[in-house]
Amino acid sequence: MNRLAAFATLVLLSGFAGQAVGQHAPLKLNDETVAVVRHAQAGILLLPDGEPPSPAVVLMHGCGGVTQNMQVWAKRLRDWGYAALILDSFEQRSIETVCNQPGKFPGRERARDAFAAAAYLRTRADIDPAHIGLIGFSHGGATALAASVQNRVKAFNAQPFAAVVAYYPACPAVAPQLANDVQVLIGSADDWTPAERCSNWVQLYDRPTAHKPLLKIYPGAMHAFDARAPMRVYFGHKLGYDAKAAEDSFIVAKRFFDSHLRNETPHE
C-alpha cells in the first residue's frame, strides 16, 4: 500500500507539473527584457511599442522628488506612444526636498536639466529628435515654464521643446517671449500655486505673439489633482485627487502632445 500510495502521489504531482508547464510560456530573460536599476540614476527611460524612432516626453518631478505618480505618468505616456524619460534632479545632488525652500533650486536653474535630458534623447537612434516634449508638475511645472522662455533657451545654447505641459505650476508675474507652445492645467482650489496667478500670466499675452500659453482651470480641484492619493496636507497645503479633473486633463494633455509631437489635428 505504501508503494502504491507513493506511485499515485507521483502520478498526481506529475500531472500538476505538466499542466503548469503547458499553461504559460517561459520568461524571456535577456538584456532587452531585464532592466538594471542602479543607485543615483539621473533618469529612467520607458520606450513605447512600435517602430522607432519615437517622439518623446521629458518628465520633471515636483518639489519632493520622484514619486509614484511620475512612474504612473511615464507608463501613461508610453501607452500613448511616447518614449518617457523620468528625470531625477535631486538624487545625484543629495537633495531630499525643496518644498519649504523653492528658491534653493529655482526653476530657471533647473531648466538646464530639462535641456540636458532633451539633448541626451537626441543622441539616441530610437528617438525622433524633432519631436521632444516636456511635462512638469508643481516645481517641475514651474521649471517647464522656465524652459519655455526664449532667452533662456538661447542662454543655455539649447533647442526649444516641441511642446510643454505644466501641471499646477507657480506661474510668473512677467510675460517673456516663449520659444514653444505651452498648456497649463491647474485647479481653482489650489492653495499652493493659485490659479489666479496663471490667469493673470496668460492675460499678459493678449498682445500678438508667436506662442501664447493655453490655460485650463478645473473648478474645485486642488494641488496634485492628477495623483491618485487620499486628500492630505503637505507642507501646510492641501493636496487631493479629483477624478473628473484628472481624466479631463489627460485628454487635454494627450491632445496637446499629439498635435505638436505627431502633427495630428486635434479632435473635440
Give one DSSP letter per residue of 160-189, joined into a string.
PPSEEEEES----SS-PPBSS-EEEEEETT
Gap between the Cα atoms of 38 and 25, Å rounded = 29
Gap between the Cα atoms of 187 and 223, Å rounded = 7
Gap between the Cα atoms of 217 and 190, Å rounded = 10
Gap between the Cα atoms of 134 and 29, Å rounded = 32
Residue 38's pLDDT is 67
β-strand pairing of 83-87 with 43-46: antiparallel
Residue 163's pLDDT is 98
More confident of the two residues 128 and 10:
128
- What percent of the chain shows pLDDT beyond 70? 88
Cis peptide bond N-terminal to 53, omega within 30: yes
Residues 112-126, mean pLDDT to the nearest whole number: 96
Residue 42's pLDDT is 86
Q: Across the strands, what pairs with 163?
A: 133
Residue 103 pLDDT grade (very low, low, confident, very high; cuts 50, 70, 90): confident
What would the pLDDT profile of 138-164 be if each residue is shown by its tens digit?
999 999 999 999 999 999 999 999 999
What would the pLDDT profile of 163-201 be if each residue is shown by its tens digit?
999 999 999 999 999 999 999 999 999 999 999 999 999
Number of H helices, E strands in the chain: 7, 9
Gap between the Cα atoms of 22 and 185, Å rounded = 49
Cα–Cα nearest to 225, from 141, 147, 145: 141
**Domains of the chain and any CATH numbers:** 40-261 (3.40.50.1820)
Residues 239-261, mean pLDDT to the nearest whole number: 98
Give this prediction's pTM. 0.86
Which residues touch 217 (CB under 8 Å, ≥6 apart)?
Answer: 186, 187, 188, 195, 198, 199
What would the pLDDT profile of 59-102 be if each residue is shown by its tens digit?
999 999 999 999 999 999 999 999 999 999 999 899 999 999 87
Cα–Cα nearest to 175, from 141, 210, 218, 217: 210
